[in-house]
Structure 1
Amino acid sequence: MYDKDVVIVGSGPGGALLGFLLAKSGVDVLVIEKSASLKRDFRGETIAPGSVHILKRLGILDKIPSDAYLKVQQLIMYDKDDQLLNIDFHNFEHEQKYGIDIPQPTILNTILNEASQYKNFLYLNDTSCVDLIENSSGEVTGIKCKKGSESFEVKCRLVVGADGRFSTIRKLSRLNFKKEGYQRDLVWLKVPKPQGWVDANIIKVDRDDHLIILPTYPDLLRIGTYVEKDGLSAARTLGLEHFKQRVIAIEPKLEDTINEHIKDWKDTTFLEIFSTHVPKWSRDGLILIGDAAHTLSPVLGQGVNVAMQDAVELAPYIEKALQSQKEEDFSLKSEAFIEFEEKRQKNVSFVAKFQEEQEKRLGARTDEECNERKTSMKLIDSNPLKYRMMSPVQYGIALEI
């Protein structure tokens, strides 16, 4: 049995960062992670400029060698070889002029190492939450855990569900949520970067087929392409060569590296695309953040950034609630987080709507839809206010700090 002020379930970027922030402020905090390792495949390697600014401000980025990540300074969109949009991060008004691509174990280990300097911080890996503990009033007062063959309980004033898109805490919380699937799912592959390739996030479309091409540390490309919803088995029936030729047809410059390095379906990773909307993120003794509260489309890779922003925004609300807690109360009340939820839901809704609009554009099928996409993106590109329009997506709360 442990007694803690706060237990955070999930040590992704949002959960780990919140644990660090709370430990730094003197809160007695436990972070648990069901995986034995921090190794992540195709998860959250792209950190937007706004989140890089936050990591700098917190002194975390300074702890990472500059050769342990790539700087990303452009977002470019093409229709075949016709450039539709070019966003150069140097032209944003914010002082932070680049995003980064960094292996998730690197960033997580750095955050957790910084947090471990505080005696009031505890991290347990290979540990799963199997149930919530509630009192007679229905308030959450802790969790039941399992680590290997050992079962134990943790009593706490607040449980934070930061355990991702398939959140156990969300399921156990009895909070209402709505899950919506998209028309397509995503298949990722990773190959060495061809010589002379620009370090930019690239979207390349050909009618309703398209590639997301991301520079990936140390000298790789992470390539995402779509299959119809539940269409992976159909793609496999057509064969790996057919799948590879689809990718190569959109970007012929990738032909050699894909043919050399993609030899088996095991060289690809499947990602189901869906969104999850939780109208209310908290109840007494419990709150959700990140993908657990708001699973987003992978378009423009905003899930990690929004989760980190959740953590930065939530930490002071938890600190204040603990300090002002009535002596007769144990669990932190949901009402302590009303302002936080309203503020964050406004920002998350903006990002989610933006991503959904891009998803619809990427799914254009008819000539009319494709022409409308081309026209609208070129209009955005020529708009003198395009950097102001894109700032909330690339910088989020960094615009306020």
Structure 2
Amino acid sequence: MTVRTEVCIAGGGPAGVMLGLLLAREGVDVVVLEKHADFFRDFRGDTVHPATMNLLDDLGLRDAFDAIPHKPLPRLDAVVNGVRVHAIDFTSLPKPNRFLTLMPQGDLLEMLAEAGRAHPSFHLHMGAAVTGVRRSEDGRVSGVHARTADGEVEIEATITVAADGRASTVRDALGMRPREYGVPADVAWFRLPEPETPLPDTLAWITDEMMLVTFPRPGYLQSGMLIPKGSFGTLREEGLTAFRDRIARSVPRLAEQTAGLESFDDVKLLSVQINRLDRWQVPGALLIGDAAHAMSPAFGVGINYAVQDAVAAARLLVPALRSGAGIVVDRAAAGVQRRRERPTAMMQRIQRAVHARIATGHGLKVLDNPPTRTQRAVMRLALPLFRPVVARVVGYGFRREPLP
């Protein structure tokens, strides 16, 4: 079976579903292909930044967003060697969205998909795995091959957008390879039961032995232990008791919660990557989100940057598609990289610096407990100046993207 559309989007993550919604709002016929049967994955990020919430407000989706359980965080704290540090304060940002919020990505995607279904030109196909790309006689990408429960499907499109993540099938089919920027750490990913006595909202616990991140979700803490790159096998060999003990030593208040880890089957490896394509576009195809640039979990900006890519792509592609000329569409696609590459590279440089100095997978002694006089002076004088700058960079990124 062959399906004809204007835009075929491979991947139903934040970049793909958001782009599909924005294009459909402008009357563009769009097909979104998601290889899984649903949106719910353990390893998908769940941090929604102020810039994304501003966009949802502009789209009229705030009531739908607020109807989904989520956890607003106006401030991000870290506990460093037992000393609580108020690191980022989003209340310095303009109203109304002066906080970061934690929402399971599956719920966010389902909300966006439902908004897309309100437009007749939006076509989302779940359980549709892209297997390769189509090409016209002149070599231009002309769509994709896909496999569904009902058989093979050919999607013929004016432009194909790869939003299918860091293991992009479309990118592989095009023979494109991103430039890798080595990251010294991986993440051991697991859930801990929510303590009976609620913890203060704390995203990072840093000791001279390790760094632990904890994301509050309904009924549990989604947690990650940073470990040296490639050391997950050694961690498993040391055994579950040693793993629990490391958590308890670093965060004594979570000692009882470690009993919720019943086996190492409850601990998954999240491989951390930072990479970026030199070229995000070829004739007939555009790559965005993690397919073009994998982000580290540092600062949780992955969703925000994927969404901003989608907004930039929609704004540039819509008028080009209306022109009907393939070369004009290709120029518009190339313009997405020109607009998004620099802010992406700037954030990736910050993430690489964080991994080089703090999030290495090893422990780190940043503060004494109690802090020295110099350390107290830095926290009292420098941090208040530092917080609003970091809040703006983390909350908005380096370039805001207005709606089409």
TM-score by length of 2: 0.90
Match of 1:298 in 2: 297
Output the CA distance in 2 between the equivalents of 1:236 and 1:288.
36
Output the CA distance in 2 between the equivalents of 1:248 and 1:107.
33
- In the TM superposition, 1:1-150 aligns within 5 A as 1-66=2-67, 68-93=69-94, 95-148=96-149, 150=151
Conserved in 2, the CA contact under 8 Å of 1:44 and 1:304? yes
| 1:194 to 1:30, Cα distance in 2 relative to 1, 3 A | same
Output the CA distance in 2 between the equivalents of 1:291 and 1:380.
38
Unaligned runs of 5+ in 2: none
- In the TM superposition, 1:239-258 aligns within 5 A as 239-258=239-258
Conserved in 2, the CA contact under 8 Å of 1:33 and 1:124? yes
Deviation of the 1:16 alpha carbon = 0.6
Which has the larger displacement, 345-354 or 285-294? 345-354
Three-state SS of the structure 2 residue aligned to 1:113 is helix
Which residue identity is paired with 2:172?
K
Unaligned runs of 5+ in 1: none
Which has the larger displacement, 163-172 or 175-184? 175-184
Output the CA distance in 2 between the equivalents of 1:32 and 1:344.
23
Which has the larger displacement, 226-235 or 25-34? 226-235
Matched, 1:202 2:196: no
Three-state SS of the structure 2 residue aligned to 1:384 is helix
Conserved in 1, the CA contact under 8 Å of 2:227 and 2:362? no
Three-state SS of the structure 2 residue aligned to 1:214 is strand
Which has the larger displacement, 62-71 or 143-152? 62-71
Q: Given the alignment, which residue of 312, 331, 335 partners 1:339? A: 335
Deviation of the 1:219 alpha carbon = 3.1
| Count of residues paired in the alignment | 395
| 1:301 to 1:368, Cα distance in 2 relative to 1, 3 A | closer
Conserved in 2, the CA contact under 8 Å of 1:207 and 1:363? no
Three-state SS of the structure 2 residue aligned to 1:37 is coil
Matched, 1:313 2:309: no
Three-state SS of the structure 2 residue aligned to 1:204 is strand
* Identical positions, percent: 26
Output the CA distance in 1 between the equivalents of 2:245 and 2:197.
22
Which has the larger displacement, 37-46 or 152-161? 37-46
Deviations, residues 48-92 of structure 1 (Å, cap 9, x unaligned): 222122122212232134452121221112221123443222222
Which has the larger displacement, 88-97 or 240-249? 88-97
| 1:350 to 1:91, Cα distance in 2 relative to 1, 3 A | same
Which has the larger displacement, 20-29 or 221-230? 221-230
Which has the larger displacement, 355-364 or 272-281? 355-364
Output the CA distance in 2 between the equivalents of 1:389 and 1:278.
26
Match of 1:360 in 2: 356
Deviation of the 1:246 alpha carbon = 0.9
Deviation of the 1:137 alpha carbon = 2.0
Which residue identity is paired with 1:253?
R
Output the CA distance in 1 between the equivalents of 2:242 and 2:251.
15
Output the CA distance in 1 between the equivalents of 2:361 and 2:191.
27
Deviations, residues 149-175 of structure 1 (Å, cap 9, x unaligned): 611211101111111111111111223
Deviations, residues 236-272 of structure 1 (Å, cap 9, x unaligned): 111011011111211111111122x111112222101
Alignment root-mean-square deviation, CA: 2.6
Which residue identity is paired with 2:220?
L
Which residue identity is paired with 1:227?
I
